[in-house]
Amino acid sequence: MNPSAVISEKRLLLFADDCEADSVLAENLRTGGFQVQLQGLHQLQAEPLNRFQPDLVLIDLGTPSLEYLTSCKAIRSDYQVPILMLADQANEMFQVLGLELGADDFVTKPLPTTLLLAKIRALLRREEESRHPRKKVIQLGELIIDASRREVWCCGTNVQLTAREFDLLWCLAENARTILSRDKIHQILFNAEYNGFDRSIDIYISRIRQKIGDDPLNPRYLKTIRGAGYLLVDNNCA
């Protein structure tokens, strides 16, 4: 997956000690796929947040400053957006204080733009996941898949799956009633493109069917859609 697709059109509010110097940083962030509003550090207050409605606040202190850490604490008390703080040569205690006063991450400069972009995307992903938590238990008829315990139950019986078999079943369960191609499944499980020859997905599917008691000729749960892929569904609920 292209990381930029995850954060497309996200808004960053960059407070900078030196706006002229950080104009280069702002442009790099725009190239990375963000909308960026650059503000002077002396404007570190609620009003710019109310106006711009950012998805993430980036505070470039330049050199460590206790004054602006206090402003960060005030912002955190009213806003839940992720806050990423940067500073030159900030010692460990100053970084700890910044985190205690509301920053979600603290990085010291200089650092590569690619690393900064990765940290921003990671914070945005965690924020997105916290607002839209993934389901931990999915039930289709008498088939129950518990992601937190990594357990599967079918018709009241515990089904013993290998780690890879469980990952595949959970992948299908998260996309229940949606056909997933072999290519898509391979990408999710192995984080690699399907080479057109690997039959491991078919083997896992066959083993899962056997373990949950699904008739391969007339499956209730795990269907093969010829020429398209696989589909997890409960026939009684379709």
Q: Give pLDDT < 70 ranges for the chain.
A: 1-8, 129-135, 235-238
Judge if 10 and 126 occupy the same domain. yes
> Of the residues 131, 164, 198, which one is the last residue of a structural domain?
131
Q: How many distinct structural domains can be found in the chain?
A: 2
In a domain, 238, yes or no: no
> Of the residues 103, 131, 159, which one is the last residue of a structural domain?
131
pLDDT of residue 43: 78
pLDDT of residue 7: 47
Q: Give the Cα separation of 199 and 203 in Å (integer).
A: 6
**CATH code for position 202:** 1.10.10.10
In a domain, 98, yes or no: yes
**CATH code for position 48:** 3.40.50.2300
Judge if 120 and 90 occupy the same domain. yes
Residue 220 neighbours by CB distance under 10 Å: 20
Judge if 119 and 13 occupy the same domain. yes
Residue 3 neighbours by CB distance under 10 Å: 14
- Tens of pLDDT, residue by residue over 32-63, are 889 998 888 777 777 777 888 889 999 888 77
In a domain, 91, yes or no: yes
pLDDT of residue 132: 60
Q: What is the mean pLDDT of the chain?
A: 83
| DSSP code string of 114-175 | HHHHHHHHHHHHHHHHHHSPPPSEEEETTEEEETTTTEEEETTEEE---HHHHHHHHHHHHT
Contacts of 173 (CB under 8 A, 6+ apart): 138, 140, 145, 232
Q: Give the Cα separation of 193 and 201 in Å (integer).
A: 13
pLDDT of residue 155: 92
> Of the residues 86, 104, 131, which one is the last residue of a structural domain?
131
Asked whether the beta carbons of 152 and 166 are under 8 A apart, the reply is yes
Judge if 11 and 110 occupy the same domain. yes
pLDDT of residue 5: 43
Sheet with strand 137-140: strands edge to edge? 137-140, 143-146, 151-154, 157-159
Q: Enter the pTM of the model.
A: 0.55
Q: Structural domain of residue 169, as residue ranges?
A: 137-232
Judge if 95 and 171 occupy the same domain. no
